[in-house]
Amino acid sequence: MLSCDGGALLRAVILTVPLQTNDYWKKNNYQTLTGIEPGWQGIFATCDKGRESRAVAEMYSILEECAAKLYPEMSKEGSKNAEEEDEKEDIEAAINKELLETKDKKKKNDRPFASVMMDVLCVTFFRLKQPLEATDIVRALCESAQKPEGGTIRSKYIHRLTPITRTGKATVEGIREVAMAVLAPHFHSGQQGIKFAIRPTSRNHNVLSRDVIIRTIASCVGAAHTVDLKNPDLLILVELYKVMCVG
């Protein structure tokens, strides 16, 4: 997974929302996917050990509130459809529909965001679908947290957010493919002399070394730009998880 954006995008967003337990998560039918697939975008969120389920529940609340502010038309459309369905369906029909949706995996893929089950401690991942943009959402959350009054979107369990623009296979070729797609608008659209830094992170992955990852990404950036580890214009984030790379 690889993400590219200007400035220090990743900072703790530490605030307060009502405590949500595992039972609450299940009761509210949160959509959970299994495994990260190529071509996705999303957000990595870190938390304390043993707080993963509460972090997921909290992240759903945060994403719902943030998406409503950044994409109001999507929120209005969803509310309108829900109201129309409530008027037409009786209680029995609504129960039957909910049971069918729970069994139908395709319904999960229609949601604008969904958590992904991971066997890594202290880390959760949320897949986002268009029109949601991972970098826009993380930037909005960080800007909200930096406001003098503390902003309106708060978290208690989420510590760090990493926006993921695109996912691919954790091979040299897979990393190169993702990098070329993600970096093009930032480095290959007429820009010259951009200072950049590369920050790779590996989770449950020991095939590709840090040096190989950095060299692969740097080759995709090109010679027209320069490395600056202390004061980069753009920070390129590369995450390797098992057999997947994201950026």
The confidence score (pLDDT) of residue 106 equals 53
Task: Please check whether residue 186 lies inside any domain of the structure.
Answer: yes
Q: What is the pLDDT of residues 120-158, one digit of tens each?
A: 889 999 999 989 999 999 999 988 888 766 566 678 899
Q: Rounded distance, CA 127 to CA 144, Å? A: 22
Residue 155 CB neighbour total at 10 angstroms = 22
Task: Report the mean per-residue pLDDT for the chain.
Answer: 78
More confident residue, 96 or 150: 96
Task: Please check whether residue 153 lies inside any domain of the structure.
Answer: yes
Task: Please check whether residue 95 lies inside any domain of the structure.
Answer: no
Task: Please check whether residue 15 lies inside any domain of the structure.
Answer: yes
| CA nearest neighbour of 152 among 75, 69, 74 | 69
Per DSSP, the residues of 30-56 read --EEES--TT-EEEEEE--TT-HHHHH
Q: Where residue 149 sits, what CATH number does that domain have?
A: 3.30.2300.10
What lies within 8 Å, CB to CB, of 143 at 6+ separation is 151
Omega of the bond prior to 131 within 30 degrees of 0, cis?
yes
The confidence score (pLDDT) of residue 35 equals 82
Is it the case that residue 17 has pLDDT exceeding 70?
A: no
Q: Rounded distance, CA 245 to CA 173, Å? A: 11
The confidence score (pLDDT) of residue 120 equals 83
Residue 100 has phi, psi (to 5 degrees) of -65, -40
Write out the residue range of the structural domain in which residue 172 sits.
8-22+32-72+110-242
Quote the number of domains for the chain: 1
Residue with tokens 């109201």: 83
Q: What is the pLDDT of residues 20-38, one digit of tens each?
A: 344 433 444 455 788 888 9
Is it the case that residue 223 has pLDDT exceeding 60?
A: yes
Task: Please check whether residue 199 lies inside any domain of the structure.
Answer: yes
The confidence score (pLDDT) of residue 119 equals 80
Task: Please check whether residue 247 lies inside any domain of the structure.
Answer: no
Angle, helices 172-187 vs 210-221, to 10°: value is: 40
Average pLDDT (51-61) is 91
Task: Please check whether residue 58 lies inside any domain of the structure.
Answer: yes
What lies within 8 Å, CB to CB, of 8 at 6+ separation is 235
Query: Which H helix or E strand runs over 22?
Result: helix 22-27
pLDDT band at 98 (very low <50, low <70, confident <90, very high): low
How much of the chain is in helix, strand and coil states, percent to nearest 5?
40, 25, 35
Q: Rounded distance, CA 11 to CA 111, Å? A: 27
Query: Which H helix or E strand runs over 221?
Result: helix 210-221
Task: Please check whether residue 16 lies inside any domain of the structure.
Answer: yes
Query: In the chain, what percentage of residues exceed pLDDT 70?
Result: 70
Q: How many residues does the chain have?
A: 247
What lies within 8 Å, CB to CB, of 98 at 6+ separation is 29
